[in-house]
Amino acid sequence: MLAFLAPGQGAQSPGMLSPWLDLPGVAEQVDALSSAAGLDLATHGTVSDADTIRDTAVAQPLIVATSLVAARALLARVGAADAADAGHVVDVVAGHSVGELTAAAIAGVLTDASAVELVAARARHMARAAAENPSGMAAVLGGDPDAVEAAIRDAGAWPANVNGGGQVVAAGSHEAIAALVAAAPARARVIPLQVAGAFHTPLMSSAAEAFGEVVAGWSATDPVLPLLSNTDGAPLSSIATGEHGHGTGADALARLVHQITSPVRWDLCQAQLGKRGVTGLVELAPGGVLSGLARRTLPDVARVAITTPDDLAPAAALVAEHSRGAA
């Protein structure tokens, strides 16, 4: 049983697209995605510095584009040329925060260009909401879960990412984050993060409203494989049954709007992977964060994190071993 995981914002690093552009056809692929995003992704993925690609409006489309480049390279390597083929190779797909748009594209809900165009709009609206509501995030590592939740609440913040493995990311005003740092829960470390706003909280309400207007009428098709939701970890098939039994494209888009103001329950996504009997997972480029979380919460599951094309061979080997339908 094989899962593909797509990373979220914060996974980016300078130059991460550089080695991929040496692969045949990738430069043209990135050009097309750049046109969809309205950004020069090749430049941002090769020569832009860390501060430039930390900008939400740049980071989100750059991460999704990089993940899709890696996904298509790997799927082509195992004989899955299109979304229907991917549905025979990948048993379940999930993405963390903005990675859920990558996951939706792999599941066939969106084309790659449509996903990048949509995420560029999402990023612009979230960046605008962050500018309107100066705020930030902090990772809370360790501590008793109930005590951590209480400390976040008492500081006036929200749990924005519940990642499992003893990691929660709190979000709120700068004053709330400072209060949480000053009154850290017992046996926990609080580490402020270099992000532009309190994503996945009510402070993003204006972004959710604006993104909802963008999504209304957006072209989407039903997923061809189980697509897990950040909201509750459940596959869309448990929410509404579409033609293929995996929910509908409309459901997927509605969830993408909802997650802008709701916590990312990655702990529940990981629990669902375990419940479904996943034995192998591939984290798409820029990989590493989600594999690290899985190491603690799904220790018996084989993992490959893709960062460069050199990782495609071990990823393909993992696909061959754990996918029920790989060529």
Same domain membership, residue 67 and residue 215: yes
In the prediction, which pLDDT does 85 show? 80
Structure tokens at 268: 């529940």
Six token digits for residue 317: 């080997």
Q: Label residues 300-319 b or e (16+ Cβ within 10 Å = b).
A: ebbbbbbbebebbeebbebb
Residues 36, 49 within the same domain? yes
Give domain status of residue 229, yes or no. Answer: yes
Whether the per-residue pLDDT at 326 is higher than 90: the answer is: no
Given 150, 173, 196, the domain boundary residue is 196
* pLDDT score for 236: 85
Residue 86, domain member (yes or no):
yes
pLDDT of residue 253: 96
Provide φ and ψ at 6, rounded to 5°: -115, 125
Please classify residue 25 by burial: count the beta carbons closer than 10 Å to its beta carbon, then call 0-12 exposed, 13-18 middle and 19+ buried.
Answer: exposed
Instruction: State how far the Cα of 121 lies from the Cα of 164, in Å rounded to an integer.
Output: 29
Q: For residue 327, is pLDDT > 90?
A: no
Work out how many domains the chain is built from and give that number: 2
Are the C-beta atoms of residues 48 and 187 closer than 8 Å to each other? no
Global pTM reads 0.95
**Interval 305-318: pLDDT, tens:** 999 999 999 999 99
Question: Range of 166's domain?
Answer: 134-196
98 and 64 within one domain: yes
pLDDT of residue 241 exceeding 80, the answer is no
The answer as to whether 327 is a domain residue is no
Domain assignment present for residue 152? The answer is yes
Residue 25 lies in a domain: yes
The verdict on 213 and 178 lying in the same domain is no
158 with 106, same domain? no
Q: Are residues 89 and 54 in the same domain?
A: yes
Residue 124 domain-assigned?
A: yes
Residue 161 lies in a domain: yes
CATH number at residue 110: 3.40.366.10
Q: Are residues 48 and 121 in the same domain?
A: yes
Beta bridge partners of 189: 141
Among residues 196, 215, 245, which one ends one of the domains?
A: 196
Of the residues 196, 213, 228, which one is the last residue of a structural domain? Answer: 196
How does strand 135-142 pair with strand 188-193?
antiparallel
97 catalytic per annotation = yes
Q: Are residues 69 and 215 in the same domain?
A: yes
Query: Residue 206: what pLDDT?
Result: 98
Verify that 77 and 114 share a domain, yes or no.
yes
**For position 150, which CATH number holds?**
3.30.70.250
The yes-or-no verdict on residue 243 having pLDDT over 60 is no
Of 97, 135, 262, 323, the active-site residue reads 97
Which of 75-84, 94-103, 143-152 has the least mean pLDDT?
75-84
Residue 219 lies in a domain: yes
Q: Do 70 and 112 lie in a common domain?
A: yes
Residue among 44, 96, 125, 200 flagged as catalytic: 200
Judged against a pLDDT cut of 90, whether residue 74 lies above it is answered with yes
pLDDT digits (tens, 9 = 90+) for 171-204: 999 999 999 999 999 999 999 998 889 999 999 9
Q: What is the pLDDT of residues 85-144, one digit of tens each?
A: 888 899 999 999 999 999 999 999 999 999 999 999 999 999 999 999 999 999 999 999
Looking at the fold, whether 8 and 109 belong to one and the same domain comes out as: yes
Percent with pLDDT over 90 in the chain: 89
Are 163 and 288 found together in one domain?
no
